Amino acid sequence: MSGFTDAPKPLDDTVQRREATSGGTSPFDPAAPQPSRWLVPCGLAVAIAIAWACSGIFVVGADEAAVVQVFGRAERTVDGVILLRNSGLYFHLPWPMTRVERVRMNEVRTVTVGSSELENLDAAGQFLQAIDPSQQSQLLSGDKNILHVQLNVSYRIANDRIDDWLFGSTVGEQQLQLLASSVLADVVLRSGVDFVHTLGHNEIRQAVLERLEELVEQNSLGVEVEDVTLASVAPPVRVKADFVDVMNARADRETYVNRARAYESQRLSDAQAESARLKNEARSYARRKVDLGRAEAESFNLLIDQLVEASSSSSTSYAEVRQLALRRQFIDTLEDVFRKVDAKVLLDSGQQVDITLHRNPNGQNPGR
């Protein structure tokens, strides 16, 4: 028993030595001062404050523009226009006092009105499957025919009306889609099926674009409509074969009309060329005849002058000189005529001889 009573003494000595070394207090004593207890909460609070302050730093991309709202109100210039911040690094009041709206101003966006009936058919072969009515684009034409029309509207956000886009409505794109749908339905209703289906795509596109621009301006959507495109115009599936037949007939008609016009143009060109040729020949013939007549007239005038001069320079009268000249001319003419005749003609002096070369078939003698 004495051994068990003496055993705790070394333990007491050890505890006393530890207390002496630690200054007489235990680290597990609640009353003891612990200077490291507030370091972690303070560090955490400082980190949170730094992170909250850094939330006021924002970056605007190269293709973006930013609108800063301070306490819900957008920053504006002196003229009252919303201030747009271009690409770069900025610092403002941290969240939630500041809110940044980033907008791609130069991005061209597209909304689609309607969808083609054939695009909704799956590849499993269900040719006449049911179509969601909200996805259909069935429009009634002016002559009470149904067509499936798909329209693509390209737009971008207007720089001077960005406040309408950001703060005017939360469903601006849906409003634009509804406006385009109503304008398209109105234009198709005032047109015939042939005009909508094949003939008037450009006219319909221009009419829809002009009317849609007016409605967008009136409704203050904050966008600019760049262009509209008729992506597809197709008849219902059940009557597509009839439409194809009509289109083929119309194409054949256009082919025949074009051929007829080409033949007409060719015949007209040939006629104009022939007319020009005949006119040129007539002008040349007239010119030759006029020149020949002038030459004969000048020759005759020259002959008269020679006769007058011969009669005045000699004792022979003008009548005698003229008779001699005519006889000489007559002999020269006969020589030219007889030179062209194959048969020989003998003339007996003092007797009349019929020297008619060409006789009239009616029996009349035109001349001797």
| All domains of the chain in start order, with CATH | 49-103 (no CATH), 109-119+134-235 (3.30.479.30), 330-368 (no CATH)
pLDDT at position 262 is 95
pLDDT at position 171 is 81
Which one-letter DSSP state was computed for residue 363?
Answer: S
Cα 79 to its chain centre, rounded Å, is: 39
> How would DSSP label each residue in 270-322?
HHHHHHHHHHHHHHHHHHHHHHHHHHHHHHHHHHHHHHHHHHHHSSS-HHHHH
Model's pTM, two decimal places?
Answer: 0.53
pLDDT at position 280 is 94
pLDDT at position 356 is 59
Q: Give the helix/strand (H/E) hosting 217.
A: helix 201-219
Closest by CA position to 104, among listed 88, 91, 86: 86
User: In tens digits, what is the pLDDT along the chain, a chain of 368 residues?
Assistant: 444 444 444 445 554 555 545 444 454 455 555 555 677 778 787 788 777 777 667 777 777 777 777 776 777 777 777 777 777 777 776 777 777 777 787 888 889 887 655 444 444 444 444 545 444 568 888 888 888 888 999 998 887 787 777 777 778 888 888 999 999 989 998 888 888 888 888 999 999 999 999 998 888 888 889 899 888 888 877 777 877 787 788 889 989 999 999 999 999 999 999 999 999 999 999 999 999 999 989 988 888 888 888 778 777 788 888 888 888 888 888 888 777 776 666 666 666 666 655 555 555 544 43
Strand partners, 157: 223
